[in-house]
Each structure stands twice: as structure tokens, then as C-alpha cells.
């Protein structure tokens, strides 16, 4: 990791960024959790169809993503310091 990415990820975001960017973004994303799960499922299928990931990896990811969707967002700890959904 180099350049801008390394500098950006080398420390936690400042309080201003958390309060006015990350936390509001997460709050906007929360009602769409199920849609994020579907998008991730479709992405896994596309990655496998393009031979970017193996069938074995896709077969592990798909059930895990379905399980996340079934469990719902309440099963996960949301930490704005780690980014958005």
C-alpha cells in the first residue's frame, strides 16, 4: 500500500469527518443492508463467471452472504472507524 492510500489509512479519521461524512453515510446505508447483500451476491457470481475467483470460493461466499442477509444488520457491529457498509 503506498501513496495516498497508505497516508489515508495510517490513522483514524478525524472527529469532523466522522460526524459529517462517515456516520451520516452509514445511517443512509443502514436501510439498504439487504440490497447490499444482493449486490454482493451478484458480484460473486460475476467474479466466478469471469474466472476471477474459483467455483470453490464462490461456493463458500454465496452461503455466507445469504446468511448475512438472513441474520440482518443487527447481527453485526457497525464501526464508522472501519468505513461504511
**CB 44: neighbour CB atoms within 10 A?**
20
pTM higher than 0.75, yes or no? no
Give dist(CA 6, CA 27) in Å, integer: 26
Q: Is the pLDDT of residue 2 over 60?
A: no
Q: How many CA atoms lie within 13 A of 35 on its CB side?
A: 5
Kindly report, residue by residue over 41-85, the tens digit of the pLDDT.
999 999 999 999 999 999 999 999 999 999 998 998 888 877 777
Q: Averaged over 25-36, what is the pLDDT?
A: 90
61's CB contacts (< 8 A; 6+ apart) are 44, 53
Amino acid at each position: 500500500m503506498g501513496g495516498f492510500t497508505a497516508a489515508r489509512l495510517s490513522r483514524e479519521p478525524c472527529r469532523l469527518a466522522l460526524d459529517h461524512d462517515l456516520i451520516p453515510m452509514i445511517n443512509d446505508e443502514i436501510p439498504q443492508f439487504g440490497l447490499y447483500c444482493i449486490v454482493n451476491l451478484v458480484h460473486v457470481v460475476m467474479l466466478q463467471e469471469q474466472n476471477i475467483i474459483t467455483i470453490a470460493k464462490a461456493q463458500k461466499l454465496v452461503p455466507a452472504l445469504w446468511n448475512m442477509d438472513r441474520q440482518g444488520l443487527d447481527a453485526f457491529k457497525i464501526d464508522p472507524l472501519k468505513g461504511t457498509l
